Structure 1
Amino acid sequence: MDINAPGMSYLEPDIGAEFVPPIPAHPRERIVALCRHCTNRLIGRGNLLPYEYWSFASVATDEMADVLLQMKMRHPYTLSEAVRETGLDEEPLERLLDEMSYIGLLEYNWENPTRTKQWVLPMLVPGSAEFLNMRLSQIDEHPIVAKFFEQSSKGPLSRATPMVPPGGAGIGMHVIPVERAIETENRSVSVEHIEHWLDKYEGKYAASPCSCRMSRNKLGEGCGDDPRDWCIAVGDMADYIVETDRGRYIDRDEVMAILKRAEDNGFVHQITNIDGENKIFAICNCNVNVCYALRTSQLFNTPNLSRSAYVARVDARDCVACGRCVEVCPAGAVKLGQKLCLASTGAAPDYPKQELPDAVKWGPERWSPDYRNRNRIETYDTGTAPCKTACPAHIAVQGYLKLAAQGRYREALALIKRENPLPAVCGRICNRACEDACTRGGVDAAIAIDEVKKFIAQQDLDACARFIPPTVAPTTGEGFEERVAIVGAGPAGLSCAYYLAEKGYHPVVFERSERPGGMLTYGVPSYKLEKDVIAAEVDVIREMGAEIRCGVEVGRDVSLADLRAQGFKAFYLAIGCQAGRSAGIAGEDAEGVSTAVAFLRSVSSGELDALSGRTVVVGGGNVAIDVARSAARLGSASVSMLCLESAEEMPASDEEVACARADGVEIACGWGPAEILTDGDRVRGVRFKRCTRVFDDEGRFAPVYDEAETKELECDRVVLSIGQAIEWGDLLADSAVKLGRGQGPLCDPKTYQTDEPDIFVGGDVHTGPKFAIDAIAAGHEAAISIHRFVQHATLTIGRNPRVYRELDKARADVGEYDRSTRQAPAIDGERERSEPFREYVRTLSEEQVRIETARCLGCGASVVDENKCIGCGLCTTKCDFDAIHLHREHPEASRMVKYEKKLPTLLKYAIKREIKIRFGAKAK
């Protein structure tokens, strides 16, 4: 039988079909009757589906089915009442009822004046379908129950979704706000506060695994959360949970710790709403990527099914578009927009709102089957702050500038480190894509973003003031025990280690060199980036729980197979491009010829501390500039740098070119090397030929030369800075990882997973040489993939796609703005002359930071679509600027109504809605 039988065909992917064998030709009659008794009446259809049949058939005997068929749903039975209904003897019946309670077919309570135990045949959801999935051993033994839960939580609501009135009231579960988001709200009522429920059930709490997380994981759609202890049962349900081996008793302090951990992770608090006024049996902490209750409003695009009494609103005056509220919003109700008005109208842009089924026909064509991905879209089409958009790591630039302006430097550092674990490094060597995009650049000069970042990050250079990010692990335990190996301690590897440590892992980084940092340590000259800066930021990552083993080459000293045998579950290969490329011309093997990578490494390691004679550098990028400036500072009598590109095409930045010329480097554009001239085995010069064109009409590298126009330069050494290559060594011995162009590893472009599932790659080894911030962003994404992989979760569903759009600066009215000029750091000329390989560019003063941050135009702001907001309040917990608050707009959502009494309300509203749809007028 088709799993998506008529009436049950949904746009959401049909997951877990492999667990569903067809119904046998001669099914068990008692089980068929039980399915119809428990499910068909609720779902409203006549056909029998395989997942419901096999779920009951797997766990229930015919004797159990006979008893259940005599019980009304949600009606409590004492033992004597059950004896009277079934006609069975008391002692065997009690054993049978308790056995069915243990399985999850029944629940029990003592809610009567005499405190007599009562057994209840519950609803499917929340109820028996859930209970069947609250013990991992039971899911493993009967995986079909996971499919049963997945479908049972979806099917009945497909018809009911449009019938829920504005303001909701919840059909089975509904959102309860974060307590501190409404603690000052004087219009709130007691049932809207978590503290009310904890007071009501004081002393009777139990923590149990999350059935949604466990069943989704069994279906291959887990999100990587540890499922333990996220659900908090209260009152009699706490006793049921503990006595049926589904959980454990906890005290109020542990409840609060679980709630706090949930809020840190962006999980939504929900309470049950089926037992009547002022009564619940559980508080859940739900991840929208797996939660079946939250799915009801997100899949069907009807937030009334979940919402609390509140909606969030942003005060744009205080908002700085840091994006924290956007990232945490489970409903996708908050996106980034712009604060600047449109020059054409003088007004803010219009932002679309989610259509609701209040007065329109509603069906599958209006659902969001891909809601777990679509809800993660960050930016409205109008765009947002260009600085955040342009940054490869999408750092909240506007946010940390604002914090710095307020003197809140530690909070600014914490905000930066959400996306960049190496802010002091990047404050010195970043390519500053954010500044290139800065809206202020079109007025006079871009904000000195990196200089402000450098000032903020100075705290990390002092061990006493260092910011160590707290662990925010999606587990109620201490963290995760799975071992992860990272090969390469460059910016990608360090970033991956940082974010894994933040999630509660203790990754081990293997680095073949004697010091961590990769090209940061061995490729960037110390006058730009002092080694103690790198060491300080690496120390933070160590303090977070990462181990860094230097002097160990994976593939030589230990193999991947050896590490697997030691218990490592996943590997991140971030070895960079450690070798320089040759030019393929005569004489390049001569003594005195080296690559840029080798030259800079010898300088950084101290092997080369002085030069004499003449130096020729071949290449036009920033690395070539580093070589040329280093040669000049080491004492080379002359330094000439020649490149293929014209001055306009030259890849090195204008600032770098100016610095090189200030150091005495002569730069000639439009020349390519033809031959290394030698005297015996020793270099004596280079012959160059004129390059007339570097790229073809499609923009591909295809240089064209005028062979007739040449020139020769005498020299004592040549450094080739024309690209970098990968050195794998024996790292991939016996590996299934495939290599592509330039020996780069082939992998999934989003997850970075290779053809060997436990191996992930990233950074320069994957992309080719790029900037440190690009490698940092890649390491962050890899950490997410690795976490999900080792937790046996999906690597793709529900991941933030990180797609940001830049506002149209040409259409924006910048309005009034601070007229101060861009601040520049002081240059310590004396130090530069006396110690040419020490950092000589000073950090901005605090006064300069105050002036510079005031120049920010504050382009971006968050915008809430109130039609999508479910009022959880998580956004308010993430805002450092007090810019977003909850407002009580839907008091009906807080009504606690017994499940059986909800239908009349729904029908009454459904009639009014149908009149609106048919006649286009508001029903009276």
Structure 2
Amino acid sequence: MSGKNNNYKGMEGLKMSNLTKMQFPEGYQCQYKETVMRLANMIGRKKEGVQPGGEGSYQWDDPEYVCLEAGVTDEMAEVGLCLGSFQKKTAAQVAEMMGKPEEYCREVLMDLAVYGACKVGTLNGEDVFWTETWIPGHMEMIVNNPNNIKKYPIVAYAMEAYGRVRGGGSVGSFPVGVGLMRVIPIESAIDGDSRKADYEEISKYVEENTVFCVSDCSCRTDREVMGEGCGHLKEDMCIQMGTAAEYYIRTGRARQITKEEVYEILKRAEENGLMHEIPNIDGSGKTHAICNCCGCGCLSMRTATMFKNVDMIRSNYVAKVDAKKCTACGQCVENCPVNALRLGQKLCSSEPVVEDITTTVTPRDEEWPEEKWTPEYRTSRENVVDSGTSPCKTNCPAHIGIQGYIKLASQGKYQEALDLIRKENPLPAVCGRICNRRCEQACTRGQIDQAVAIDDIKKFIAQQELDPQKRVIPKKRHDYHDKKIAIVGSGPAGLSCAYFLALDGYTITVFEKEERLGGMLTLGIPSFRLEKDVVDAEIEIIRGMGVEFRTGVEVGKDITLDQLRAEGYDAFYVAIGAQGGRKLGVEGEEAEGIYSGIEFLRGINAGNRPSLRGKTIVIGGGNVAIDVARSAVRCDSGEVSMYCLESRDIMPASEEEILEAQEEGVRLNNGWGPKRILTENGRVKAVEFKKCLSVFDEQHRFSPKYDEDDCVVVEADQVIVTIGQSIQWGGLLEGADVEFNRNMTVIADAFTYQSGQADIFVGGDCYSGPKFAIDAIAAGKQGAISIHRFVHPGQSLVLGRDRRIYRELNKDAVLVDDYDHTPRQKPDTIKEASSDRFHDNRGILDEQQIQKETARCLGCGVTKVDEYMCVGCGQCTTKCKFDAIHLERKYDAEGVEFTQMPPVVFRHVMKRKEKIARKKEEQLAQKEER
């Protein structure tokens, strides 16, 4: 679905009572073809002679019948019934059985093969036809035919329903290694394992074949048709080999590729977080295909995640974490396809901490009714154990792997550290200078002495961005250049969205109404906090990724959204920021000498620095007010005083910046609000302030209360008002189906950032109101994820998406006996500071200091593994930069050829029943003892 579907729950959102039923799109009518039903029963190996739709037969609304009914005629079914199950026959043999012309039978058999209801191949130089099983088999073949999907979309619904309707009956029935599909570990994850077997090496299957093709993924195809896509797209994902490849190529399902292309596809899949699976019905060490699967779209993987039936698809391996090496950076957790990994706590605690997350109640020795299923698995992903994890990662709005990049920096791996930061934040050098450091405020080390200087470490790492010789342009993950995205606004949200969409290879144009890029980064933040060449350097990286920037273009005035739509733009990300000031609404506000803080800073950054004389009053208590006050000092004001409503302990400005302002002579006056401005001859003379008793009401809404009788009059030569920012929309959203809040921010979905008009997404200050750069950066990434899904048909904006819910560990209960006692390192002020007082003369930690400071990190977090849920795909190992997670062989199970499965499954079912009965007896005995 490419429209507004933020609350769409998908097929797994059905009520429990409907989970074992086929779901139909509105208007579908069953045709009741008895011959087609007999064919369905034959493929499903039902007893011969059963009444179609009766007892012992498939029912008319079963997925097996529905997927055939769509495109198989009675005449086709009649011919198909001559094939039997897993029996290869020629057209001549079928013609003899039917008493019909061979050419007629050949033509109909080819129709069946093209549709997907049988296969065709060559044996001894002659075409043979046969049927196999439903999955892996005919359902994929039917869905993999693009013409079927166009003409009969119902087949996608049938394939999705098959595993959901039949899956419950197979839970616990298959021993390890004997499922219909099987995970094959990423080969690099098992290199050097002394117990490895060649049937679990993906290269074995490639090297044993000479004919290959690639097709769209059938699972993602049916998810797309149903509007349930997870953002992992279907194109060029499934590899067929040998006779399967010949069949796929011959019937137009796939394109032939070389062996080298096979390895390229496998590599690309691994790099993008996908895992390998094979059809497991050809016997041990044999297969005809390799799938590249995601846990949120693959119907085979649903077996593990929805039913907890992991044994049916797992490899022989499970992931193991070396806690000493693990830094809880989260890359393994976020890339685990089955959510078997979660972040926990490494430090000791005086309170209970979740240590083992391995699922203990499983289908191995428990009955597994619908009540134990997890139909909402695509929206219920968890990243953190109940007792929490690292406070720094939790409290960072972008959830950067802070502990991870600190460890990499300690090892001198600065480029790798930068790469890790850039997973979430494409503006690290900017943030190293202006971030409000919520990570440091939450740092566990702060409980002992002082927090780790996280931002200074990041600033050091990001210096590589500023040197063109060391600058690295990130490699693109995909190529979607045929999709055009317009981004309005080049502030941190817009730049972040552009970066992450550029990673996926989209054609991106950023429209900026100012002549200079960067939004408030360049216009609203003074250079003594953020030099403009720092912003420019990071923008150049984004430009190097292919993003086009068009400055001096105001969307809504110079060009409209409708005109951009006409030019082929598929979606819009609106991130214009809050670049206007707010008025006080008091008497005398229009007098000469009253300035807006935003305009004051904008003028300075544009090179128009006023010369202030006498006394300057700055009204406001946020970071912008601090910037204004410090800028006023640099504009030669004789005395600069700040007045704000808030008390010192609840001022919105950061503590560090408040202290820096006071060091520069700014006088801070808390608990005062402006009552009126006194003027003389039309010019400001003084400000009368009244005592503020409280700022917020009981619901923490802004509702200041004053003592009107407690007032002071303060002389002033100029007053700079910095009490908030406003959004200047102009004609940007004229005619758009977009609603606004009272403060003129856009109303949009809090998770997907989609506005009331489906193709318009928003982020940054124009959505949230004025916040910090890191908040806008985090919003930009999420906006990019939503846009990626929106511009591709059939993708849900929410299903299979990480909601990134983190919780921090209990710092008060942490027990730390052994730690590095080195004090927090502080960068020196640059001695050769420019004579320009607006120059940033803050220094950077040197390499020796970096070594000392990174050693101060306590390493709070660690990854935990659910060894039952782990399918042994190895994806986690490819994302770990610390050699902290490995695959270890736990099982020694091989596959079994499909026709040999029944006795194996039967024996396993009998043993399971014994386990369940024995466990019930033990539980009853324990209950009686109590």
**TM category, shorter:** over 0.9
Answering whether residue 341 of structure 2 is matched by residue 339 of structure 1, we say no
Shift in CA distance, 458/61, structure 1 to aligned 2, threshold 3 Å: same
Q: Which residue does the alignment assign to 2:7?
A: none
Task: Give distance in 2, aligned partners of 1:383 and 1:443.
Answer: 19
Q: How far does residue 363 in structure 1 lie from its aligned partner after superposition?
A: 1.5
Q: Which residue does the alignment assign to 1:831?
A: 833
DSSP-derived class of the 1:212 partner: helix
Contact persistence 2:304–2:869 (CA under 8 A): no
Q: Which residue does the alignment assign to 2:118?
A: 106
Alignment of structure 1 residues 177-188 onto 2, 5 Å: 177-188=185-196
* Deviation per residue, 1:717-753 (Å, 9 max, x gap): 2111111111111011111101122111111111111
Q: Look up the equivalent residue of 1:808 and give its one-letter code.
A: N
* Deviation per residue, 1:110-160 (Å, 9 max, x gap): 3x5x35432111211111111111132320111111111111233333211
Of the three residues 350, 361, 385, the one matched with 2:367 is 361
Answering whether residue 273 of structure 2 is matched by residue 266 of structure 1, we say yes
* Deviation per residue, 1:31-77 (Å, 9 max, x gap): 33333333483996653216554532331122101011222122221
Q: Which residue does the alignment assign to 2:928?
A: none
Task: Give distance in 2, aligned partners of 1:190 and 1:703.
Answer: 72
The percent identity for this pair of structures is 46
Task: Give distance in 1, aligned partners of 2:224 and 2:21.
Answer: 14
* Deviation per residue, 1:419-470 (Å, 9 max, x gap): 1000000000101000011111101110000000000000000111113221
Answering whether residue 198 of structure 2 is matched by residue 190 of structure 1, we say yes
Q: How far does residue 10 in structure 1 lie from its aligned partner after superposition?
A: 6.1
Q: Which residue does the alignment assign to 2:332?
A: 325
Q: Which residue does the alignment assign to 1:900?
A: 899
Task: Give distance in 2, aligned partners of 1:522 and 1:14.
Answer: 59
Q: Which residue does the alignment assign to 1:574?
A: 575
Alignment of structure 1 residues 698-847 onto 2, 5 Å: 698-792=699-793, 793-828=795-830, 831=833, 834-847=835-848
DSSP-derived class of the 2:462 partner: helix
Contact persistence 2:20–2:166 (CA under 8 A): no
DSSP-derived class of the 2:621 partner: coil
DSSP-derived class of the 1:132 partner: helix
Alignment of structure 1 residues 492-511 onto 2, 5 Å: 492-511=493-512
Task: Give distance in 1, aligned partners of 2:659 and 2:227.
Answer: 55
Q: Look up the equivalent residue of 2:797 and give its one-letter code.
A: L
Q: How far does residue 279 in structure 1 lie from its aligned partner after superposition?
A: 2.0
TM-score of the superposition, structure 1-length normalised?
0.95
Shift in CA distance, 682/17, structure 1 to aligned 2, threshold 3 Å: farther
Q: Which residue does the alignment assign to 2:127?
A: 117
Q: How far does residue 19 in structure 1 lie from its aligned partner after superposition?
A: 5.5
Contact persistence 2:41–2:57 (CA under 8 A): no
DSSP-derived class of the 2:549 partner: strand
Alignment of structure 1 residues 316-715 onto 2, 5 Å: 316-343=323-350, 349-351=355-357, 353-374=359-380, 376-473=381-478, 478-715=479-716
Task: Give distance in 1, aligned partners of 2:148 and 2:741.
Answer: 45
DSSP-derived class of the 1:76 partner: coil
Q: How far does residue 83 in structure 1 lie from its aligned partner after superposition?
A: 2.7
Answering whether residue 85 of structure 2 is matched by residue 73 of structure 1, we say yes
Q: Look up the equivalent residue of 2:649 and give its one-letter code.
A: E
DSSP-derived class of the 1:583 partner: coil
Shift in CA distance, 689/597, structure 1 to aligned 2, threshold 3 Å: same
Contact persistence 1:20–1:54 (CA under 8 A): no
Shift in CA distance, 353/465, structure 1 to aligned 2, threshold 3 Å: same
Alignment of structure 1 residues 102-251 onto 2, 5 Å: 102-110=114-122, 114-165=124-175, 168-201=176-209, 203-251=210-258
Task: Give distance in 2, aligned partners of 1:808 and 1:45.
Answer: 58
Task: Give distance in 1, aligned partners of 2:287 and 2:447.
Answer: 57
* Deviation per residue, 1:614-655 (Å, 9 max, x gap): 211001111111000001011112211111122222222222
Q: Look up the equivalent residue of 2:76 and give its one-letter code.
A: M
Contact persistence 2:405–2:421 (CA under 8 A): yes
Q: How far does residue 226 in structure 1 lie from its aligned partner after superposition?
A: 3.3
Task: Give distance in 1, aligned partners of 2:543 and 2:712.
Answer: 52
Task: Give distance in 2, aligned partners of 1:44 and 1:721.
Answer: 77
Task: Give distance in 1, aligned partners of 2:273 and 2:515.
Answer: 40
DSSP-derived class of the 2:25 partner: helix
Q: In terms of mean alpha carbon deviation, does 690-699 or 39-48 score higher?
A: 39-48
Alignment of structure 1 residues 295-306 onto 2, 5 Å: 295-306=302-313
Task: Give distance in 2, aligned partners of 1:41 and 1:722.
Answer: 76
Shift in CA distance, 205/797, structure 1 to aligned 2, threshold 3 Å: same
Answering whether residue 106 of structure 2 is matched by residue 94 of structure 1, we say yes
Task: Give distance in 2, aligned partners of 1:40 and 1:742.
Answer: 65
Task: Give distance in 2, aligned partners of 1:242 and 1:351.
Answer: 45
Task: Give distance in 1, aligned partners of 2:89 and 2:590.
Answer: 91
* Deviation per residue, 1:824-883 (Å, 9 max, x gap): 010136626x22111100110000000000011111010111010000000000000000
* Deviation per residue, 1:496-530 (Å, 9 max, x gap): 11111111212111111111111111111101100
Q: In terms of mean alpha carbon deviation, does 640-649 or 172-181 score higher?
A: 640-649
Q: Which residue does the alignment assign to 2:925?
A: none
Shift in CA distance, 485/568, structure 1 to aligned 2, threshold 3 Å: same
Of the three residues 41, 46, 53, the one matched with 2:46 is 41
Q: Look up the equivalent residue of 1:797 and give its one-letter code.
A: L
Task: Give distance in 1, aligned partners of 2:690 and 2:600.
Answer: 24
Shift in CA distance, 186/19, structure 1 to aligned 2, threshold 3 Å: farther
Shift in CA distance, 204/29, structure 1 to aligned 2, threshold 3 Å: same
Q: Look up the equivalent residue of 1:748 and give its one-letter code.
A: D
Task: Give distance in 2, aligned partners of 1:15 and 1:423.
Answer: 50
Task: Give distance in 1, aligned partners of 2:743 and 2:508.
Answer: 29
Q: In terms of mean alpha carbon deviation, does 769-778 or 707-716 score higher?
A: 707-716
Contact persistence 2:20–2:165 (CA under 8 A): no
Task: Give distance in 2, aligned partners of 1:344 and 1:391.
Answer: 25
Task: Give distance in 2, aligned partners of 1:339 and 1:513.
Answer: 48
- How many residues in Structure 1 have an aligned counterpart in Structure 2? 903
Task: Give distance in 2, aligned partners of 1:708 and 1:254.
Answer: 81
Task: Give distance in 1, aligned partners of 2:559 and 2:736.
Answer: 14
CA RMSD of aligned residues (A): 2.2
Unaligned runs of 5+ in 2: 1-9, 48-54, 923-930
Q: How far does residue 211 in structure 1 lie from its aligned partner after superposition?
A: 1.1
Alignment of structure 1 residues 874-889 onto 2, 5 Å: 874-889=875-890
Answering whether residue 96 of structure 2 is matched by residue 84 of structure 1, we say yes
Contact persistence 1:44–1:156 (CA under 8 A): no
Shift in CA distance, 190/352, structure 1 to aligned 2, threshold 3 Å: closer
DSSP-derived class of the 2:862 partner: strand
Q: How far does residue 9 in structure 1 lie from its aligned partner after superposition?
A: 6.9
Task: Give distance in 2, aligned partners of 1:766 and 1:13.
Answer: 42
Task: Give distance in 2, aligned partners of 1:576 and 1:33.
Answer: 64
Contact persistence 1:8–1:155 (CA under 8 A): no
Task: Give distance in 2, aligned partners of 1:15 and 1:39.
Answer: 17
Q: How far does residue 22 in structure 1 lie from its aligned partner after superposition?
A: 3.3
Contact persistence 2:215–2:239 (CA under 8 A): yes
Task: Give distance in 2, aligned partners of 1:502 and 1:266.
Answer: 15
Task: Give distance in 2, aligned partners of 1:278 and 1:117.
Answer: 26
DSSP-derived class of the 2:648 partner: coil
Q: In terms of mean alpha carbon deviation, does 437-446 or 362-371 score higher?
A: 362-371
Q: Look up the equivalent residue of 2:637 and give its one-letter code.
A: S
Task: Give distance in 2, aligned partners of 1:40 and 1:629.
Answer: 81
Contact persistence 1:325–1:879 (CA under 8 A): yes
Task: Give distance in 2, aligned partners of 1:174 and 1:57.
Answer: 29
DSSP-derived class of the 2:692 partner: strand
